[in-house]
Amino acid sequence: MTVIPAVQTHALGKRYGSRWALRDCSLAIASGSVTALVGPNGAGKTTLLHLLIGLSEPSAGEVRVLGWSPREQPQVVLPRVGFVAQEHPLYRGFSLAEMLNVGRKLNAHWDEGLARERLARLDIPLGQKVHRLSSGQQAQVALTLALAKRPELLVLDEPVAALDPLARREFLQSLMEAVAEGGLTVLLSSHIVSELERVCDHLVILAAGGVRLAGSIEQILASHRLLVGPRVDPDGVAREHQKHAVIQESHTERQTTLLVRLNGAGVDVRWRSDDVGLEEVVLAYLGQQSMRRTEPERDLTEVAS
């Protein structure tokens, strides 16, 4: 039996007026994975997430969520997808009991027991009004409401950006507990890379409206190396290292430093080869934008699958 990816897009694009917010985006998100979508502000992260949950219509290409189109078959897709928006929108004047009421009425598969048990564990009384909660508690309530839908796919847009470090840790603990219970695929966008490495098992790097790199974090870390060796002219780099994809390069008079994605071949013994951290890899791919602009003839950005 082949498992349908939780999310699959093909050449997906979204244009606002003459500007493409997202372009030629093809990716697959494995069922059961926890995937981080990273990129600078304006990279198209929110646009992509909104396309997945049917909030906006693609200008080009195709999107499938749990095997279906979110715009054409919303009645099949939406009950199985949970979404936590950036600002954790809740009805501010409502009490939590009233919020649960709304959740129950709007969702066919509402799990009231799960919602109440989670709120009790978080020590948030049901009589409390939403606007009296701390931002960490509001984030937890938004997560609780999304999880009580019993979704198969949970989409979170910058879930921890506005939280202090303690609230951020507690939020991620709750999220990982939910994943440990099984049957849940998570896609979350973020521009904080440091904490993603613990929480996520897959990564998609989005920059300037396109996918720069996608894959399992383990594979990404294993396949990228920092090479330091004798100076090679920028034009010579591609010649000498054609077997690897050069993501980032810098040169002094004597020395050349390259961040490369290995393509199976070994590394020349004259080069010192070091591991790279996830944050460095991400920054290298994001920095590639400016490099491409100055050297448009060289194609270094083919996407690993």
Q: Is the Cβ of residue 20 or residue 171 nearer to another protein in the bound state? A: 171
Q: Is the Cβ of residue 183 or residue 236 nearer to another protein in the bound state? A: 183
- Which of 66, 139, 200, 220 is in the footprint of another protein by CB under 8 A? 200
> Shortest Cβ distance from residue 177 to another protein (Å)?
5
Q: Is the Cβ of residue 90 or residue 278 nearer to another protein in the bound state? A: 278
Q: Is the Cβ of residue 80 or residue 169 nearer to another protein in the bound state? A: 169
Q: Output the DSSP codes for the chain.
A: -PPPPSEEEEEEEEEETTEEEEEEEEEEE-TT-EEEEE--TTSSHHHHHHHHTTSS--SEEEEEETTB-TTT-HHHHGGGEEEE-TT----TTSBHHHHHHHHHHH-TT--HHHHHHHHHHTT--TT-BGGGS-HHHHHHHHHHHHHTT--SEEEEESTTTTS-HHHHHHHHHHHHHHHHTSS-EEEEEES--TTHHHH-SEEEEEETTEEEEEEEHHHHHHHEEEEEEE---HHHHHHHTTTSEEEEEEE-SSEEEEEEE--S----TTSEEEE--HHHHHHHHHHHHHHHHH-TT----PPP-
Kindly indicate which of the ranges 59-67, 102-110, 130-138, 198-206 contains the residues binding another protein, using the contact rule CB under 8 A: 198-206
Q: Is the Cβ of residue 101 or residue 194 nearer to another protein in the bound state? A: 194
- Write out the binding residues for another protein, residues 11-50 only, by CB under 8 A: 34
151 to 170: interface string for another protein, x by CB under 8 A = ------------------x-
Size of the site for another protein (CB under 8 A): 17
d(CA 213, CA 285): 8
- Write out the binding residues for another protein, residues 203-222 only, by CB under 8 A: none
Q: Is the Cβ of residue 31 or residue 289 nearer to another protein in the bound state? A: 31
> Shortest Cβ distance from residue 150 to another protein (Å)?
17
> Shortest Cβ distance from residue 37 to another protein (Å)?
16
- Write out the binding residues for another protein, residues 171-190 only, by CB under 8 A: 172-174, 176-177, 179-181
In the complex, the residues that contact another protein under the rule CB under 8 A are 34, 169, 172-174, 176-177, 179-181, 195, 197-201, 275
